[in-house]
Amino acid sequence: MSFLVKLSQKHLKIYSNPSKFISQRRKFSCEDQFAKCKVVLINGGGGVTGQAFASLFLKSGAKAVVIADCERNECICQLMEKYGGDRLVFEKVDAASKASLEGVFKSTVRNHGHLDFVVNNARFMSIDNWQKTICINNFGLVLGTFFGLKYMGLQKCKGVGGTIVNVSNLAALEPFFPVPVYTGAGHFLLQFTRGMGNNFFYKKSNVRIMGLITASIHPTELSGALPKDSCFGDLGNLSEEMAKMVYNLPTHDCRTFELFMDHVIKEGQTGDIWVAEGIDVFKIRAYDRNKLKCKAAA
C-alpha cells in the first residue's frame, strides 16, 4: 500500500506540485537511522504531535531527545519508560520566557555535547486570551528559532549546523475567524520561517529552517465561558463556530505524524513550508505581492 503525495484538483490553483511518494508501512531500519547519534530538542513536546515527533527521532537512532514543556504527562512517562531516561529527557519550561527557554538549550548542549535538531511545536489557542497566544505562538517561536540558530550554527564556532522545524496547523493557511489572533500567529510562522530560511542565513550557519503545517486543530481547548469583560463576550458562541469549522478537517494519528516529519526532515530544503493534510504532504509555493494582486473588476 503506497502513501501517495498528490494534490486534489482544488489545490492545484494554490499549491506547488509535490514530487515524492512515502511508504505508509515504512520501517525504521538501521539503514534508515537519519538521527543516529543526534540530539533533538522538541519545544512543546507534550502534545500528540510532539510525542509522535519524539518517537520518530528515537526510532531513527537519536542519542537523546529532550522534550521541553510546561508539565510532564502520562504519555511522556510512557515514552521515557520505553526508551529509557537517558535517551528521552523531560525539561520543564516556560515557552514564552527567554531565560527559561535558553536554559533548556544550554542544559541540552552541556549534558549531551551538541544539538542537531530543534522542533518548535509550542502552541496555545484561546478566543479571549490573545496576550498568551502571542507570547507562546509568536514570541516563543522566535526565541526557539534564534536559540536553535545560536547553539547549532557554524557562526562563532558554537555548532556544526542542524535543522529547525517550526510547526503549526491549517489556521496558518486559512482564516479561522473564531480565533483571529491564533490564526494571525500561524500566518506569522509562515513568513518568519521563510525569512529565517533564506539562503543568506543558511550559508553562514548551516542550519536549515523549515515549516510543517498539519491539519489537526483541537477546538475542545476553547470550551468554557468567556470573561464578562471579553471583547468577544457579546458576539455569539465562538467555540461552537470553531467546532463547526474543524469538524470536516482530516485527522492524523501518531504514525502519520511520524511519516510527515520523516519526509520533511529528509526531503526539505531551508525555507520550505510543508503541508500535511489527510494522507497528502506537499510544499506550498512562496508568494509575493505581485502574486497576491487582484485583477481590477471589468
Tell me the domain boundaries of the chain: 28-221+231-285
pLDDT of residue 116: 96
pTM: 0.84
Each residue's pLDDT tens digit, 72-127: 888 888 889 989 888 999 999 998 899 999 999 999 999 999 999 999 999 888 77
Percent of the residues in the chain that have a pLDDT greater than 90, as a whole number? 44
Q: Which three cell numbers stand for residue 260?
A: 510527515
Going by C-beta distance under 8 Å and a sequence separation of 6 or more, which residues neighbour residue 179? 125, 126, 127, 133, 171, 222, 238, 242
Amino acid at position 164, single letter: I
- Please give the DSSP secondary-structure letter assigned to residue 211: E
List, for residues 9-40, the tens digit of each pLDDT value: 333 333 333 333 333 333 434 446 888 999 99
Residue 36 or 230, more confident: 36
Q: What class is the 28-221+231-285 domain?
A: alpha beta
Q: Residue 273: phi, psi to the nearest 5?
A: -120, 120
Q: State mean pLDDT over 228-249.
A: 66
